Each structure stands twice: as C-alpha cells, then as structure tokens.
Amino acid sequence: MAAAGFFFSLTALVILIQLATSLNSCLAATPVHHSGRSTRFIRTSCQTTLHPNLCFTTFAPYATRIRGSPRSLATTALSLALNTTRFATKSVASLSKRHGLKRREAAALRDCVQEVGDSVDELKDSITKLGLPSAGGSDFRRRMSDIQTWVSAALTNDDTCMDGLSGKSVNRILKTRVRRRVVKVAHLTSIALAFVNRYAAAATHK
C-alpha cells in the first residue's frame, strides 16, 4: 500500500515537472512583442521609405497591432492610404461644386476627383488581393506583382492630379488646398508601396 502511494506521488511529481517544463518552453516560444519592440519595427521600417517622419507618426499608434509583421504592416499601410484617398476625393469633389469657380478650375478639380477616385479602386483591390489566402510560390509572386502595379498606378494618378492643377488657370488658394490633401495621399501611397515591396521581397526570400 505504502509503495503504491509512493509510486503515485512520484508519478504526480513527474507529471508536474513535465507540465512546468512544457509550459515554460511554450512561454519561451511565444514571441514577446512588448510595445518597445513593435515600435522599433515601425521605426526601422519607416526609415526605408521616402517619408520617414510622416511614416513614423502615422504608424506608431498601430505598432502593437502590427506586431512586427511585414504583411500586417503592408495591409495597414494600404488601409491608411485608402482612407486618406477616400477623404481627399470627397473634399476635392465638394470644392469642385463651389460657386464662383471658373469653368477651367471646376474642370481641373473634376479631373482630380476622377483620377484620385481611380486610386481608391486600385487601393481597395490591392487590400482585397493581399487578404486572400495564398497558394504560395508563383501564385504569391503574381499576386504581389499585381498589387505593386496597382499601387504604382495609384501613385501616378495622384501626380497626374497635381500636374493638372499646376497650370496658371487655377486660383492659387484653391490649388494649395487641393495640393495639401493630395500630397498627403501621395506620400501615404508611396509608403504603402514601399511596405508592399518589402513584404514581397521578405516573403520571396524565405
């Protein structure tokens, strides 16, 4: 009886030790993403973009959500670019409907709304495509290449809008207003493109 009791408590002890060990290794295997490390990832990623300061102030609040993931960084960047682009389209559209605009000014603004509106579609499609489950390999590369093409096209649209405004026919104050919004859109889109490129390269070289 005493021997059996000793055996059982020995077994219990062994199980306990195993449990503690596996719990320990389980905890060690979980990546520790405290905010310092997540923020550092944002900082170093932003340094590879053309607008590191705008990038860091924009993305730092999302650091713990992104958790050091290049894919999540790219998705967040596309989503932020999309939201900013949508807002810019709406505000330029309402500017274009103001009274007192010369016909040429209204036309230039409407062109902008159309071009930046195309960017909205391209960014939306990119987010959808990035979110699809990947079959890996050539499928992944083709998909990333499509996304790179669309985000580059969005960037070109933003430039086209601003080029269309640079003629003398548009009032300077109006030009400045539109420019301020579209420049922000272009910068965020350029950051999104950098992060998409980074994710494509990182995942391909794995």
Contact 58, 86 (CB under 8 A): no
Query: Which candidate, 116, 122, 126, 97, places its Cα nearest to that of 182?
Result: 116
Residue closer to ligand NAG, measured from CB, 80 or 186: 80
Q: Which amino acid would we find at residue 130?
A: L
Interaction between residue 83 and ligand NAG (CB under 6 A):
yes
Query: Which candidate, 105, 95, 70, places its Cα nearest to that of 194?
Result: 70
Residue closer to ligand NAG, measured from CB, 81 or 95: 81
Q: Give, in degrees to the nearest 5, the angle at Cα 110 between 193 and 123.
A: 20
Minimum distance between the CB of residue 73 and ligand NAG, rounded to whole angstroms? 11
Interaction between residue 76 and ligand NAG (CB under 6 A):
yes
Interaction between residue 45 and ligand NAG (CB under 6 A):
no
Residue closer to ligand NAG, measured from CB, 150 or 175: 150
Interaction between residue 157 and ligand NAG (CB under 6 A):
no
Strands, DSSP E only, in the chain?
none
Query: Which candidate, 143, 155, 205, places its Cα nearest to that of 51?
Result: 155
Minimum distance between the CB of residue 79 and ligand NAG, rounded to whole angstroms? 4
Residue closer to ligand NAG, measured from CB, 80 or 88: 80
Rounded to whole angstroms, how far apart are CA atoms 24 and 120?
47
Q: Which stretch binds ligand NAG (CB under 6 A): 31-39, 53-61, 79-87, 114-122?
A: 79-87
Pick one of 46, 63, 80, 95: the residue that binds ligand NAG (CB under 6 A): 80
Residue closer to ligand NAG, measured from CB, 85 or 96: 85
Q: In Å, how far are 82, 106, 206 from 46, measured between CA atoms?
A: 18, 37, 22
Contact set with ligand NAG (CB under 6 A): 76, 79-80, 83
